[in-house]
């Protein structure tokens, strides 16, 4: 496995630990779900580079893993994503981004946030696509 992929997997592990410590209140399924999502993300890299395990014979397992990852990161972690402030609305300073409610940012900060998230996610989406293409 190349160094960048190992570094990316370490980043996934650190983001899992960070996400587990963020919320003051969370449902009982959040901790195992976040860990499972992170393990599936790392396994995508392991299967693609065939580092420690051979990839599964069927793409069904890979598709299920990708589905879980996307569901978890976009729905269960939705409060980590900001909302755009409307005109005339002021951000409340007592509102924590991790209180369980989406925090609000300016339109410019919103675009910057999604640009950075997209750049960070590109290697993951590339590896997912390349892994799926190996099943053709």
30-57: pLDDT as tens digits: 899 999 999 999 999 999 999 889 899 9
Four-CA torsion 93, 97, 98, 100, nearest 10 degrees: 90
CA 52 to chain CA mean position, Å:
23
Q: Domain count for the chain, please give it.
A: 1
Give CA–CA dist 51/33, Å, rounded. Answer: 24
Would you state the pLDDT for residue 84? 85
Domain that holds residue 16: 3-133
Instruction: Compute φ and ψ for 83, nearest 5 degrees.
Output: -110, 160
Whether the predicted pLDDT of 116 surpasses 60: yes
The pTM score is 0.85
């Amino acid at each position: 496995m190349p160094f960048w992929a190992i570094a990316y997997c370490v980043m996934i592990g650190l983001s899992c630990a960070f996400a587990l410590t963020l919320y003051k209140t969370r449902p009982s399924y959040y901790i195992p779900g976040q860990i499972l999502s992170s393990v599936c993300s790392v396994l995508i890299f392991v299967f693609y580079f065939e580092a420690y395990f051979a990839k599964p014979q069927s793409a069904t397992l890979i598709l299920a893993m990708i589905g879980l990852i996307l569901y978890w990161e976009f729905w269960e972690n939705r409060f980590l994503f900001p909302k755009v402030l409307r005109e005339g609305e002021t951000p409340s300073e007592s509102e924590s981004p991790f209180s369980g409610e989406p925090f609000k940012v300016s339109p410019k900060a919103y675009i910057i946030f999604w640009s950075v998230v997209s750049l960070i996610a590109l290697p993951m989406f590339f590896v997912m696509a390349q892994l799926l293409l190996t099943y053709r």
